A and B are shown apart, each in its own frame.
Chain A
């Protein structure tokens, strides 16, 4: 990789790079994203390598391990180009068949392609699959086609073109104008207008200034930023360099959690490549601008995703937030003006510069522009990463992209925005998703977690789950969050155990009000969302727990009652053998009985019974 001394040099290199590449060259692109990697994508890639060599195709066919392909429900995924055939659930054993059938014969391997659960229609090509059809990938665009370890791959797809433009054709003010005009808002959850943030920092008088990329993604079930850092690290770097140019920073940091070793490795490699080719360091592309990036690793505390706690952690202190103002744009890292944006925000920047603010502002809703990446998980059929324009309805995401609920269960709620988001009930399925609409129904955009729940979820239990998570992750600095979360957890536990009272519901509401008003940082302020939203939309469920001592979703174990239906019981004694406390008794081949005093409600008998004779109330 040469060091680019000038624009012409870069342009010429890119031209040659593209010229060298045959657009019709067969390619096997194995997904090595967060969903596929643990399912064995390395083994799949190895099997392909072996098969290609065996068939003498190693030279003709390009084999790559790429970033996330999106539809994680089909892990491990393999994309065959140029036909854009996408295979799912691929195992190493399937490699031979795909090489033989598809690469040599041009045939589709039917058993490995997508099949619609409802219509049983099959789809071999990426463009035919509903999950992909409804999307508009900007940030995720390159993830399934580039090798994240290859700068050439990034350059061939127009990488660092935006940087060139920003450095040599635009003044810092113009860059900020563009970002402001694009309407880009922070994708980390707060939704603060990115351009305005940059402007304030640019106007700050103090020197030096810093750029931070917040890669401390900590929401359970969310992996948007991880996928981007692992799959397209140069896009993040390019965005940061452009941002640095705009505000006049000479040093940038990427804060990534230590639990993302692959992301750390990929970013480190990308930084090294960018330094070697002159995109980072002194006098970038001969523009006279100096900027460099370092990685700062976090230890995985959820609260360190909060900007002031993140800065504290980077400075070597305990990861605790501090009161704002001053905001980081005024006094951030080491007390200096600092722009801190999350991974997805930075990855949007090059595209905005490339394609223009007007293009970006044309996507989305009035106050929320562009696209948003969601990690769609939970009770939907097609789980994975989706990127849709702002304003797409929840119904489109859940039913069109997500393929509806598993086992055709009834939709109950979708929880957005990570642990401190709210649960949105079915009545809002047609809600266009953007910052403001989510807030209006008591939830938040957050960084883009989206957990779909069906009727088998108990909303009290869901609230308790998230409150427990936040209680574990609260840093403990401020009173309302530290003590409030424990009290909410205590009260929810009371309800789940059938000891709750209606007064306690009022108490919880009051407590939530104080926490939201008085906590230092977003963790405590928004921690109340799961409780308030479930109490608002699923109040009957709470009341059922309290008044009737029943859990309608049959989730809260302390409220369940296991009985044996004497009609259906065959007396096989399978349940007797499983019961850990000897609560089941009865004669062989006769109906059994469960001693409610002894029963610990573990559910083993229910699972052991072959005849559905064990009933839950």
Chain B
């Protein structure tokens, strides 16, 4: 702590804080324009200048000057006021005074500052600059003539988003905000808009729809990925007008511009019942009665196991919990699972094999009166846990890591907030980023080592990494107690680096360099994405990474953890709420014999016309056709199911096959919670009325009532309490908190993994099916006013030389054929794609990329013009 005075007031402040921060913390207002708490000080506007004794004779910027012991700060002298007045005049002469038509009115920092400093008149004049407005760019309207050249947008875009989409052009007096003379071509996150103190950057979706003070603000959780962001919905008259994150300003394109999906014209408004292969609108009672009657009939005739449930990574913990309760307690069956089976559950299984299932002890009932969405359990003194949840990292800690190995993840499209955290980690000069991906991605620019391996050779590469690591460090001892290292070493006996290099295409020396970095790291982190987990042997991939973390990880050191990407807002939550064939809520133990069929096995049973094949499917959202590999097979099999019920906000491809479709509320229309990828509890608050649709939990509850089940579904708050009570792992968890909150005792066992190539087919090109930045599952593809504008269709990325050989240029349609099917998609020449590898995003209805896949997100294809 240092002692100082500001305007004569004695103040104690932590060392390292700036004068401005200390003044803010003590309620002393120093005028400022370019400073923003979310950014490092820029020091451009000079309005925050203060006089400091002892110090230089001239005033210094409060935003950039750290406090020191004995400092005397004066923030209000006559001289300072004159300087500020003068500076304001200088800013104002070149600011287009078009306040009546500027959409920033009411929340313009320049307006407020002019008011606060009582600037009387601007007696200076100078040549005005050309206005050069940009009305072309998507979502963002730019007015460089309103710009005060504070540099905030440039800094947030470059340092926090990593997009470098906006910059200053020219210099000196002619400094102009821009992106060349072209419309913006960036990530369209819009963070520049909300960081802008004036109206130089305007949100097109918000423009002229309301004044800033007219909106109602509702803090809620973002539903567009598993990153766990919290933001504010600004609503008026039952409509979302914009979305903001007041704290860090950062949101991604989906977060900020994805909300029009709520008002999508194809939102379902009433229940649908299929009659003579056509849907007709129905009342809720009619639809629920029909489903209840059908379920009852099937359960009575074929037993409870004949009804199969699929939970949803989109739905809340409360809905999912109630859903599994409907099956387990109501029907009395464990026949349920969730689509994470194809991705995230593979990671959980791999991790559990090495680090064990979660065990928690010492948890007790909380004594404090229960707060909403606060676990009724609390970690008592001496509480402790073990198992895989204790090696899963919190994003907040990632910047404390000194190395991150990113394998098979295009970080930003998969989870934008994870990318922001990586950028923070990169602030630390000792941090090393090792990026391994078959194709070039955004973070290659920042990577210290980039390993470009051939698709499907991940485990061969990892085997090479183990081999090189163990050769260089023969006496290595893992940081935590680990069994089976000797046998594990033995499993690489036949692996040679030369062979690995030949198979993966990664240089031997590069593998050795990576191994050396891993050995040096004091707090290594491992990040993997859906691209890795969605393979047929995703579980083996996760297993190999878990082994690697057991070898090099430093559990207990902040930042050193595994960060598998849980793709959707509640991908992790749906598993923890117990919608899994093999687990009860909170990963509760289920006897092997009692376990249900995992989703893929259920489909196999349908194909085999097995007796155990379900006769009814109850899908809690989740467009299986669009996200499960081998679409034609899935479609064929789902059509076989006699009675299919789908709860969804849209009439998805899967819902079209259903007999009954029940329309549900989306995030802004309900309460509930999500568990983010890093174990943070996101709390939804209802900002809009449901307009005739119903939240998932309510539908499940009403269905349960009709079947005579006592599900006890009165309110999400109460369901959460019940769920949290069954989950000791969540002890102490509350809104925006991350679990586990008790210390973990991490131990592990090395489990050998299969060192083989997994890449189906024998065709010349390898297709990777993955994520696009502007979409979240198929959800965002329904909002024509939202991010669909940025990425309106699936385009195949292809290496320019490959395209040339195929006679294809940008925008040409290509015919893509695999052993499973054929689709057509326009191509985009992408230098980041290596020869022989192509990429397609999976979100879109057309073309349905999973017509090509077999059992993985990788498939070999033939490409032709046309």
List A residues at the B interface (Cβ < 8 Å): 301, 318, 322-323, 325, 334-335, 471-480, 482-487, 490, 507, 510-511, 513-514, 516-520, 525
Contacts and interface: CB of A to CB of B under 8 A. Distances in A.
B87 A518 contact: yes
A478 B45 CA distance: 5
Contacts of B124: 487, 507, 511
Interface string B60-93: 0101111000000000000100110011001101
A256 B848 CA distance: 58
30 contacts: A318-B168, A318-B171, A323-B41, A323-B61, A323-B64, A323-B65, A325-B66, A471-B172, A472-B172, A474-B171, A477-B44, A477-B175, A478-B43, A478-B46, A479-B91, A483-B94, A484-B90, A485-B172, A486-B126, A486-B173, A487-B93, A487-B124, A510-B82, A511-B86, A513-B82, A514-B82, A514-B90, A517-B58, A518-B58, A518-B83
B173 A490 contact: no
B174 interface: yes
B712 to A, nearest CB: 58
Contact of A518 (B49, B65, B123, B173): B49
Contact of A517 (B83, B90, B126, B174): B83
Contact of B175 (A482, A490, A513): A482
Contacts of A478: 43-46
B153 to A, nearest CB: 14
Nearest to B43: A323
Nearest to B45: A479
Nearest to A335: B429
A479 B173 contact: no
Most buried by B among A471, A473, A479, A520: A479
Nearest to A475: B171
B59 interface: yes
Q: Which 3 A-B pairs have the closest CB atoms?
A: A476-B175, A323-B43, A323-B64
A300 to B, nearest CB: 12
A490 B126 contact: yes
Nearest to A516: B58
Given A475-B172, A487-B126, A514 B66 contact: no
B168 A480 contact: no
Contacts of A483: 90-91, 93-94, 126, 173
A71 to B, nearest CB: 37
Contacts of B82: 510, 513-514
A325 B65 contact: yes
Contact of B90 (A318, A479, A516): A479
B86 A510 contact: yes
B125 interface: yes
A478 B41 CA distance: 13
A483 B63 CA distance: 21
Contact of A482 (B47, B65, B83, B149): B149
Contacts of A473: 172
A322 B43 contact: yes
Residue of A318, A323, A325, A516 contacting most chain B CB atoms (<10 Å): A323
How many interface residues does chain B have, given as a range? 35 or more
Given A479-B91, A514-B86, 13 more contacts: A318-B168, A471-B173, A474-B173, A475-B172, A477-B175, A479-B44, A479-B45, A479-B90, A483-B90, A514-B82, A517-B79, A520-B43, A520-B46
A207 to B, nearest CB: 11
Contacts of A484: 90
A232 B312 CA distance: 75
B429 A334 contact: yes
Contacts of A475: 171-172
A195 to B, nearest CB: 21
A42 B635 CA distance: 84
A510 B90 CA distance: 12
Contacts of A471: 172-173
Contacts of B340: none
Interface of B: 41, 43-47, 49, 58-59, 61, 63-66, 79, 82-83, 86-87, 90-91, 93-94, 123-127, 148-149, 151, 168, 170-175, 429
A517 B65 contact: no
Nearest to B175: A476
A293 B104 CA distance: 51
Nearest to A474: B172
Contacts of A511: 86, 124
Given A483-B93, A486-B126, A518 B59 contact: yes
A480 B90 contact: yes
Contact of A476 (B61, B64, B125, B149): B149
B171 A476 contact: yes
A361 to B, nearest CB: 27
Max count, chain B CB within 10 A of own CB: residue among A471, A473, A483, A519: A483
Contacts of B47: 479
Contacts of B173: 471, 474, 476, 482-483, 485-486
B87 A476 contact: no
A525 B94 CA distance: 21
Contacts of B79: 517
B835 to A, nearest CB: 30
Q: Count chain B CB atoms within 10 A of each CB in A301, A480, A517, A520 and give the residue with the most.
A: A517
B126 A507 contact: no
B322 to A, nearest CB: 53
A474 B175 CA distance: 10
A72 to B, nearest CB: 31
B83 A477 contact: no
Nearest to B86: A514
Contacts of B59: 517-518
A508 to B, nearest CB: 10
B50 to A, nearest CB: 11
A299 to B, nearest CB: 11
B58 A490 contact: no
A518 B44 CA distance: 10
A517 B61 CA distance: 11
Most interface-central of B58, B126, B172, B174 (chain A CB within 10 A): B172
Nearest to A470: B172
B41 A477 contact: no
Contact of A490 (B123, B125, B174): B125
Contacts of A301: 171
A517 B49 contact: yes
A598 B651 CA distance: 79
A351 B757 CA distance: 68
B172 A482 contact: yes
A540 B735 CA distance: 73
Nearest to A517: B58
A323 to B, nearest CB: 4
Given A479-B44, A480-B90, A507-B124, A514 B83 contact: yes
A478 B48 CA distance: 12
A352 B59 CA distance: 37
Best-buried of A473, A484, A487, A511 by chain B (most CB within 10 Å):
A487
B791 to A, nearest CB: 31
B460 to A, nearest CB: 36
B123 A480 contact: no
A310 B372 CA distance: 55
Among B83, B123, B148, chain A packs the most CB atoms within 10 A around the CB of: B83
Contacts of A476: 149, 168, 170-175
Contacts of A520: 43-44, 46
Contacts of A485: 172-173
Contacts of B172: 471-476, 482, 485
B172 to A, nearest CB: 4
B64 to A, nearest CB: 4
Contacts of A335: 429
Contacts of A479: 44-47, 87, 90-91, 148-149
B127 A490 contact: yes
A511 B82 CA distance: 10
Contacts of B148: 479
Contacts of A323: 41, 43, 61, 63-65
A511 B174 CA distance: 20
